[in-house]
Amino acid sequence: MNALPPLSVADARARILTEVAPDRPIEIVPLARALGRTLAKDLASRRTQPPKAVSAMDGYAVRAADLAELPVKLRRIGESAAGHGFSGRLGARETVRIFTGAPVPDGADAILIQEDARAEAGLIEPLRSVGEGAYVRPKGLDFVEGEVLLLRGRHLGPNEIALAAAMNHAELAVTRRPRVGILATGDELVAPGQNIGADQIVASNSFAVAALVESAGGEPIDLGIAADSFEALETGVRAARDVRADVLVTLGGASVGDHDLVKPALAKEGMELGFWRIAMRPGKPLIHGRLGPMTILGLPGNPVSAIVAGLLFLWPLVRALSGDPKAGEEASEPAVLGDAVSANDGRQDYLRATLAPSATGLPAARPFEAQDSSLLKVLAQAQCLVIRAPYAPAGKAGDPCRIIRLPGAR
């Protein structure tokens, strides 16, 4: 009974994600409130950018042909500034003073930057020739009206919001943020800043998991700390139902000790168990199930186990519940080992490691000696997790490996 179930990390993730319904509830939000949200519909541009040809530099709008043979003097006939174009047309040997972002006047086909011109009494003397189109941003260089630039499911960060604004969308259709109830469990836990008894510790996992949920676009709801009793866990489950959580994340109590009651308590409440325990370190005693409309994710109590399992399973679950079709894609990348590692057992390891440049062109990942799943300090010092497949043979420095960068690591 103690033999590890063969469920792999990839299978566990697939099973968690398959039950997510594809259609998500939609809300309309102003652009200023769209950070971290997920687009519910493909977004097409309402305009062409730039709407007409504009200058990329401060200087003079010219006809390139006029400057083919120097010396030549051009007559300055006006000015074009951003927001105030020149309405006339450039004739032979004429020029218009122009500034960055200003419309290029009709008849002009190039910009002579002002560093390459001598100006005197209404005349401009070019100091060099220019090619046709020099420093001209043609109409629609960035995008054209009707172009679909952001797809449904896109997680909105600063760049996407800037693009949506430039496309002239003042509000966006986004999916409702998945509600994630977070219930810490354990008689030993006390919230930070409280009086702490001799056998107690500060509950840190709720904060880490709430931050993960938030960064994935979900709405974390703190359900507090439940004692190690069926009654307290029952109260916690009721609280999750009351806030209409899409996901209930429990923290701790997932293992096999006499006080690890989460699985039986959830079963008593009617949870249909998906799986329990996966071939992974840290994070082995992961619980997955369904309780009415709620997905249950029981993360292990060890802080690093909770965070690593949160990154690998809760993060994609929140993305999937946000309507992101790419939620299941693992964000791993190639690297090389910076140090030797020993042969692995049957669990897929996620080793906290630093990253440094290497001669191979790939970053070199050096796992910390200390990998105990209680060590938050090591996690905060790490830049990535080195993935070690089950039964991977010993590796030496320079061997290829795959890593997952830790969010916000420095």
| Residue ranges that bind ligand MOO, judged by CB under 6 A | 281-284, 300, 302, 305, 373
* Part of the chain binding ligand LQZAQKY5 (CB under 6 A), chosen from 102-110, 122-130, 146-154, 245-253: 245-253
Q: H or E segment at 320? A: helix 315-321
Task: Answer yes or no whether residue 285 interacts with ligand LQZAQKY5 by CB under 6 A.
Answer: yes
- AA letter at 323: G
Nearer to ligand LQZAQKY5 by Cβ, of 99 and 207: the residue is 207
Of 188, 234, 339, 345, the one binding ligand LQZAQKY5 by CB under 6 A: 188
Q: Which listed option, ligand MOO, ligand LQZAQKY5, none, makes contact with residue 184 (CB within 5 to 8 Å by class)? A: ligand LQZAQKY5
For residues 163 and 55, the answer to whether their CB atoms sit within 8 Å is: no
Of 254, 327, 364, 375, the one binding ligand LQZAQKY5 by CB under 6 A: 254
The CB-of-4 to ligand LQZAQKY5 minimum distance in angstroms stands at: 9
Residue 140, helix vs strand vs coil: coil
> What is the chain's percent helix, strand, coil content, to nearest 5?
20, 30, 45
Nearer to ligand MOO by Cβ, of 178 and 303: the residue is 303
The CB-of-157 to ligand LQZAQKY5 minimum distance in angstroms stands at: 29
Q: What's the first-to-final CA gap in the chain, in angstroms? A: 42
Q: How many C-beta neighbours within 10 Å does residue 342 have?
A: 10
Specify burial of residue 402 (Cβ count, 10 A radius: 0-12, 13-18, 19+): middle
Of 255, 332, 358, 371, the one binding ligand LQZAQKY5 by CB under 6 A: 255
Q: Is 332 left (phi over 0), alpha (psi -120 to 50) or beta?
A: beta
Closest CA to 279 of 312, 301, 320: 312
For residues 74 and 126, the answer to whether their CB atoms sit within 8 Å is: yes
- Residues for the chain: how many in total? 410
Nearby residues of 140 by Cβ (< 8 Å), 6 or more positions away: 48, 49, 50
- The distance of Cα 92 from the centroid of its chain, to the nearest Å, equals 53
Q: Which listed option, ligand LQZAQKY5, ligand MOO, none, makes contact with residue 253 (CB within 5 to 8 Å by class)? A: ligand LQZAQKY5
Task: Answer yes or no whether residue 300 interacts with ligand LQZAQKY5 by CB under 6 A.
Answer: yes
The CB-of-306 to ligand MOO minimum distance in angstroms stands at: 8
The CB-of-189 to ligand MOO minimum distance in angstroms stands at: 17
Nearer to ligand LQZAQKY5 by Cβ, of 255 and 354: the residue is 255
* Binding site residues, ligand LQZAQKY5, CB under 6 A: 184, 186, 188-189, 201, 203-206, 251-257, 260, 282, 284-285, 300-303, 305, 373
